[in-house]
Chain A
Amino acid sequence: MSSNNRNTINIVISGVGGQGVLTLAELLAKAALNESYNVRVGEIHGMAQRGGHVVCTVRIGPMAKGPIVDEGFADILVGFEPVETLREISRIKKDGHVLMSSHIQYPVAVSMGKAEYPSIDEITSNIEKLTSNITELDAMNLAKEAGSSRAMNMVLFGAIVATDLLPITKETAIDVVKKKFPGKFEEINVKAIELGFSKVVN
Chain B
Amino acid sequence: MSEANELTYEQKVARLDEILTRLDNSETPIDKLAEDVKEGARLIRELDMKLKQVETEVLDAFKELESE
Physical interaction between A and B? no
